[in-house]
């Protein structure tokens, strides 16, 4: 081999690979999308990094759901712009991409507001990132927020086994994206587009790949996951209950979850799945937003408080040990003290294991933002504090009630100190035990012995401790 050939062969391996940092905000779908972007860029030769200083490419995968979430991105971009200037002054060529829901909602505005941004790419066009990056390298500043006609998922590469392994034993799989519900406060139908479901075969293939690489817990995600209507293998329309049933047959998969559900799509067939599929975890996240029929109507939620309570009752009938969680909005325009009291009453009536609650945030382009009966900030804050105190009390009560019970824990990582391992109960609680690291990536039975404010202490059942 002559010297020139030698140099040509070794050159590519000697150059350090370009590095990408993807930072995600917002919901689980953004977390999933971040992994798919990383997979895609991996094929383009990018290695993942956790450090900004190290990154040649920084992607902010943004959320537009509340004003605070969206504004946070601009302060983050301000800091990144300074870092970019400093690095590029040293001869580097750092690029900044804004992806996700702020990208979709604001498009070219992002390029105008922050000069350091090179690319803006919406949630339905990130499969075009490699081409867009080539344009950016030539100096173009592009905003691509088209709702692509092609199936984004099909054009994205599957992650390698090594990539899957580094991400742990629990994984998300998007099965449905977008929303046709148009709740009057919400930006999601505008940022994610119309409801679309992936075909069953595609979801099975993706799940099998994850399970083959060691994943044992899959959470199916969608903005309205229970509105899933993907094509079944027989060419007919499937639904979430049938999809769960198929996935539960995959050997090596031990836990299935799904989120987020809308109450109006909580079909009896899906409720029955909770009694019929042992791998389906007894935990349902079912946002209610408000307990007042008047406010629910104004929110365009398409159901009343009683309908919600009746769904809860039906789920508890087929799965008495089910834990429920929810989302709440306080201070929606026109919300009176009595409306808010109805929300408190609903929460007291159900008893939630865990919940998220927010002050209503007017979002541009949504009907509720234009109403002239907006609620004062002070009132919103008082209501949020009262609701959060109640929900926190319920969370603690739920945790305390698991003390003394035997449950299966899926161990995910080493614990806080030597000899300890940590995992998740079927009810999404963090659990710590003294135990061998060999159990990481596996499920084992434990007895819960103590409830702390954010995690549970437990003891391995004797046979697992011996293993």
Note the residues at the interface with ligand F3S (CB under 6 A).
26-27, 29-30, 63-65, 100-101, 187-188, 191-192, 223
How far, CA to CA in Å, does 388 sit from each of 138, 186, 327? Answer: 50, 21, 11
Contacts of 165 (CB under 8 A, 6+ apart): 213, 214
List the single partner that 358 binds among ligand F3S, ligand SAH, ligand SF4, none, CB under 5 to 8 Å by kind.
Answer: ligand SAH
* Least distance from ligand F3S to the Cβ atom of residue 40, Å: 19
Q: Footprint of ligand SF4 on residues 261-300 (CB under 6 A)? A: 262
Report the chain's terminal Cα–Cα distance, integer Å.
Answer: 55
Return d(Cα 410, Cα 254) in angstroms, integer.
9
Give whichever of 223 and 402 is closer to ligand F3S, judged by the CB atom: 223
Return d(Cα 427, Cα 409) in angstroms, integer.
10
* Least distance from ligand SAH to the Cβ atom of residue 180, Å: 11
Return d(Cα 151, Cα 138) in angstroms, integer.
28
List the single partner that 327 binds among ligand SAH, ligand SF4, ligand F3S, none, CB under 5 to 8 Å by kind.
Answer: ligand SAH
Give whichever of 329 and 456 is closer to ligand F3S, judged by the CB atom: 329
Contacts of 155 (CB under 8 A, 6+ apart): 127
Mapped onto helix, strand or coil, the DSSP state of residue 427 is coil
User: What is the distance of C-alpha 9 from the center of its chain?
Assistant: 42
Mapped onto helix, strand or coil, the DSSP state of residue 315 is helix
- Which residue has the CB atom at the shortest distance from ligand F3S? 26
Give whichever of 28 and 163 is closer to ligand F3S, judged by the CB atom: 28
- Pick from 164, 167, 168, 189: which is nearest to 179 by CA? 189
If one asks whether residue 262 binds ligand SAH (CB under 6 A), the answer comes out as yes
Tokens for 117, please give them: 């941004």
If one asks whether residue 224 binds ligand SF4 (CB under 6 A), the answer comes out as yes
Which of 223, 292, 355, 402: binder of ligand SAH (CB under 6 A)? Answer: 223
If one asks whether residue 181 binds ligand SF4 (CB under 6 A), the answer comes out as yes
Longest dimension (CA), the chain: 85
Tokens for 333, please give them: 């325009």
Which of 289, 290, 343, 425: binder of ligand SAH (CB under 6 A)? Answer: 289
If one asks whether residue 223 binds ligand SF4 (CB under 6 A), the answer comes out as yes
Which of 169, 186, 253, 271: binder of ligand SF4 (CB under 6 A)? Answer: 186
Pairing of strands 430-434, 456-460: parallel
Q: Footprint of ligand SF4 on residues 161-180 (CB under 6 A)? A: 179
Can you give the binding site for ligand SF4, defined by CB under 6 A?
179, 181-183, 186, 188-189, 223-224, 262
State the residues that interact with ligand SAH by CB under 6 A.
Answer: 65-66, 185-186, 188, 223-224, 260, 262, 287, 289, 327, 329, 358, 360-361, 363
């Amino acid at each position: 081999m002559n010297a020139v050939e030698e140099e040509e062969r070794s050159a590519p391996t000697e150059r350090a690979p370009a590095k990408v940092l993807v930072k995600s905000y917002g919901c689980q779908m953004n977390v999933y999308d971040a992994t798919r972007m990383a997979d895609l860029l991996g094929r383009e030769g990018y290695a993942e990094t956790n450090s900004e200083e190290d990154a040649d490419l920084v992607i902010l995968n943004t959320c537009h759901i509340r004003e605070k979430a969206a504004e946070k991105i601009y302060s983050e971009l301000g800091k990144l712009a300074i870092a970019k200037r400093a690095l590029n002054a040293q001869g580097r060529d750092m690029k900044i991409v804004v992806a996700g829901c702020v990208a979709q909602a604001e498009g070219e505005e992002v390029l105008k507001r922050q000069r350091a941004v090179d690319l803006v790419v919406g949630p339905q066009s990130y499969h075009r990132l490699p081409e867009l990056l080539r344009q950016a390298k030539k100096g173009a500043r592009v905003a691509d927020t088209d709702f692509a006609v092609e199936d984004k998922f099909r054009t994205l590469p599957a992650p390698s086994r090594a990539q899957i392994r580094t991400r742990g034993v629990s994984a998300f799989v998007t099965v449905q994206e977008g929303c046709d519900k148009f709740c009057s406060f919400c930006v999601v139908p505008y940022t994610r587009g119309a409801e679309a479901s992936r075909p069953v075969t595609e979801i099975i293939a993706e799940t099998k790949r994850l399970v083959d690489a060691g994943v044992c817990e899959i959470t199916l995600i969608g903005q309205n996951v229970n509105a899933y209507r993907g094509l079944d293998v027989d060419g007919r329309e499937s639904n979430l209950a049938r999809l769960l049933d198929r996935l539960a047959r995959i050997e090596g998969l031990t836990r299935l979850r799904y989120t987020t559900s809308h109450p109006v799509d909580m079909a009896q067939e899906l409720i029955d799945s909770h009694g019929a599929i042992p791998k389906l975890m007894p935990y349902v996240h079912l946002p209610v937003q408000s307990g007042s029929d008047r406010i629910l109507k104004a929110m365009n939620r398409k159901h009343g408080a009683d309908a919600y309570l009746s769904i809860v009752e039906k789920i508890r009938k087929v799965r008495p040990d089910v834990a429920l969680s929810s989302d709440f909005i306080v201070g929606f325009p026109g919300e009176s003290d009595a409306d808010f009291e109805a929300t408190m009453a609903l929460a007291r009536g159900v008893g939630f294991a865990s919940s998220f609650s927010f002050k209503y945030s007017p979002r541009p382009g949504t009907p509720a933002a234009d109403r002239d009966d907006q609620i004062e900030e002070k009132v919103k804050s008082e209501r949020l504090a009262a609701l959060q105190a109640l929900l926190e009390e319920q969370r603690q009560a739920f945790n305390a009630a698991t003390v003394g019970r035997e449950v299966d824990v899926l161990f995910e990582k080493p614990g806080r100190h030597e000899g300890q391992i940590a995992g998740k109960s079927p009810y999404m609680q963090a659990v710590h035990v003294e135990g061998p690291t060999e159990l990481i990536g596996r499920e084992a039975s434990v007895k819960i012995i103590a409830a702390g404010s954010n995690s549970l202490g437990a003891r391995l059942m004797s046979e697992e401790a011996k293993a």
